[in-house]
Amino acid sequence: MQRREFMSSALAAGSLAAFKFTSALSRSGPIPDIVAITSDGADITLRGAEVLDLAKRLQGQLLLAGDPGYDEARYLWNPSFNKHPALVVQPVDVPDIQAAVSFAREHNLLLAVKCGGHSHSGQSTCDRGMQIHLSKFRGAHVDAAARRVSVKGGTLLGQVDRATMAHGLVTPLGTVSHTGVGGLTLGGGFGRLARRFGMSIDNLESMDVVTADGELRHASNRENQDLFWGLRGGGGNFGIVTQFEFKLHPMQRQVIAGWLRFPITKARDVLTVFADYAATAPDDLYIQPIITLPPGGAPGMAEMEVGYCGPVKDAERALAPVRKIGTPLSDSIKAMDYVELQRSGDTSDPRAVATYLKGGFVTSLPDDLIAALVDGLEGDPRRATAVFFQQCGGACSRAPEDATAFANRDALANMMTLSGWSSGASDSAEHIAATRRYWSTLEKFTRGFYVNDIAREATARDVNSNYRGNYARLVALKTKYDPSNLFRLNANVQPDRAKRVTSRV
């Protein structure tokens, strides 16, 4: 995902230089006027006194360019996105979030919301708007007796797994522990336990959300049911979720997990086993094929990740079809601590590699898709290329299509291709073009896409068709709760009354 973007306005750049000086002195000192941008792309001057007033109302922090923490806030997991918000608010409580949302709405400011910063489309930061960065608003509180966990809106997955597993309880979340609960859950939430316990949204009991009018609303099956429905799959369209309440399930500490690694020449066999077994595998088994071509001409690899969370005595029987791929180069499958497994895909230095991802749901893997996947994979000495699948099905598929806003319940897997290159390399356009070329041979096999993997170039029409029969209901909700489309940096559902909106970033 490469899009190096720098501040384009000389005016704004001048203002930022002034902020650096001011903010270093004290936030209670005067702040110069700031040239920022509205959600419609027009310049707007924020009076320094108004910004100072906002800063004074916060328990948390207001950061301007040059302040300690500003860069960390604006950076995302993917270093391709190098944007500079005019203001960053780091709330520590709900009133802070309400104050920031109201300020953004009153000034019609472009608004980005960041939790874990994993957005593939770079929509949790922005140039010259306001970013609400939830990193100081984290924590998970377990009520073991009630089998519930309350999670603040800025929390990372690993914090939840750690807190709940201390009680032998779990809620299904994603596979990389530094992903944000906020973004992952609102788009759906797939992971190693989703086939057993359902998607993350299927495990929500309630959410508290600050909507565009600045009100805090409780959404559950008893209260604001319409909002509760839309928040489960509708992404960040309806407001900032301050608290997620998930149900918990008893979970053993040890699971059987690991990787079978084969040479790239076995890619077809790995994918064929996935095609044949993914739909009928027990719900306790998660399998994920990954085909990788590293940069620099190193040999490619075909891998199958497995995670089995059923009774240990049944593990080998569940794995038998996977073992039929043949003798691997290496086999790391063993009993593992679940929390450790959840951390095993964490990136130690995410800012070293820029990435670009395309993805879509498949309901099967016919032979011609496997042929396109294997024959079309193109190596490049400067670029790593991978194609991988997040297995769905099982409990994910048992909810009806209209039970929540998430519509792609029939998916067998989320198919993704990703390219990665050294951060800062100047040939990103070439890598992105190569990924798109490859994807153009695969896309016809997909039906819909995961909104959390929305491509940066996605259009409103893409979003519309992805939600299938649920779209009209989402538009009605958006019109009710966010008529001015304040929350637009997401897979944007556009309200009826919007005069001029776009989902392009």
Residues of the shown chain interacting with ligand FAD in the complex, contacts defined by CB under 6 A: 76-77, 113-120, 123-124, 134, 153, 174-176, 179-180, 182-184, 186-191, 235-236, 240-241, 452, 489-490
Task: Name the minimum Å distance from CB 495 to ligand FAD.
Answer: 16
Q: Mention every residue, 6+ apart, whose C-beta is less than 8 A from residue 396.
A: 190, 194, 195, 198, 199, 202, 409, 411
Based on CB atoms, which residue is closest to ligand FAD, 48 or 393?
393
Task: Name the minimum Å distance from CB 399 to ligand FAD.
Answer: 15
Task: Name the minimum Å distance from CB 33 to ligand FAD.
Answer: 28
**Pair of tokens at residue 404:** 């929540």
Q: Where is 308: in which H helix or E strand?
A: strand 301-308
Based on CB atoms, which residue is closest to ligand FAD, 117 or 289?
117
Q: How far is CA 237 from CA 209, 230, 414, in A?
A: 11, 9, 22
Task: Name the minimum Å distance from CB 137 to ligand FAD.
Answer: 8
Based on CB atoms, which residue is closest to ligand FAD, 48 or 116?
116
Distance CA 265, CA 357 (A): 24
Based on CB atoms, which residue is closest to ligand FAD, 32 or 236?
236
Give the CA-trace dihedral at 179, 185, 189, 191, to 10 degrees.
50
Distance CA 164, CA 144 (A): 8
Based on CB atoms, which residue is closest to ligand FAD, 187 or 328?
187
DSSP state of 38: B
Distance CA 237, CA 235 (A): 6
Give the CA-trace dihedral at 431, 353, 266, 297, to 10 degrees.
70
Q: Which residue intervals of 344-459 are DSSP H helices?
A: 367-376, 428-442
Task: Name the minimum Å distance from CB 368 to ligand FAD.
Answer: 27
Residue found under tokens 């929500």: 204
Task: Name the minimum Å distance from CB 370 to ligand FAD.
Answer: 23
CA proximity to 357, closest of 281, 452, 247, 285: 452
Based on CB atoms, which residue is closest to ligand FAD, 186 or 477?
186
Based on CB atoms, which residue is closest to ligand FAD, 129 or 180?
180
- Neighbour-count burial of 41, counting CB atoms closer than 10 A to its CB (0-12 exposed, 13-18 middle, 19+ buried): exposed
Task: Name the minimum Å distance from CB 176 to ligand FAD.
Answer: 4
